[in-house]
Amino acid sequence: MDKVALITGSTSGIGLGIAKRLAQAGHSVILNGLATPTLNETISEVKTLGKGEVLFSDADMSQPDQIEAMMRMIEKQFGRLDVIVNNAGIQHVAPIDEFPIAAWDKIIAINLSSAFHISRLAIPMMKKNGWGRIINIASAHALIASPFKSAYVAAKHGVAGLTKTIALEVAQHNITCNAICPGYVLTPLVEGQIAATAKARGISEEQVINDVMLGEQPTKEFVKIEEVAELVYYLCADAAASITGTCLPIDGGWTAH
């Protein structure tokens, strides 16, 4: 049976790559994120990849009431939600004693709390239908830390714990919950970090790329969006039914240190 999949933060970057891959697999997909100037073209492109429906929600992942409204819309439209990919995320780079409180609160809300709200609302639908896949896009920073990213690292470590807890709670309902932990992927989010990290560390942008971002990735290559999307696709397959409660690095060997 074709599935219904929600991918948050999916109008660009990793989320859009995942949405495209699941559309290719025949799933209906709900895109979520900022209404970019090319949004209509993006929706049309995703539609051409498969036979499923493609919807868009601009629900703000920092606002629980907007998340609930989006989930009600999905249930009304499809009567089910089989796959959720909690991908939405933002970043701010600064020393902790200079870290803006508003930035901390928003990062925790979008990067961590939204995964909680979507999961708690999706699980009843998954239990009713006897099948579900919850995939949280965490980060290598769910497993290790880097300086100047206190909120992001704290949120992603929280995602790892949330993943394990959910997996234990739904294990007997044919629902799995896993986290994917990419290393640096060259997305708009990462591109935006380069200048900020250079300023925080007092180094050049080239040094940020070579010494900070790729310095710990033994491959010395950015992870590709398509590689993350393929892992999501595999975790949605029946062959992955026994993979649950895991945090799967896809980081060019970064966390092998």
Catalytically active residues, by annotation: 152
Instruction: Choose among 85, 246, 117, 228: nearest CA to 171.
Output: 246
3-class DSSP string for 52-77: CCEEEECCCCCCHHHHHHHHHHHHHH
User: How many whole angstroms separate alpha carbon 19 and alpha carbon 32?
Assistant: 10
Three-state SS at 228: helix
Three-state SS at 142: helix
CB 137 within 8 A of CB 180: yes
CB 33 within 8 A of CB 105: no
Q: What is the DSSP string of 83-105?
A: EEEE---------GGG--HHHHH
C-alpha dist (Å) from residue 111 to 157, 243, 252: 10, 23, 23
Three-state SS at 14: helix
Q: What is the DSSP string of 150-211?
A: HHHHHHHHHHHHHHHHHHHHHGGGTEEEEEEEE--B-SHHHHHHHHHHHHHHT--HHHIIII
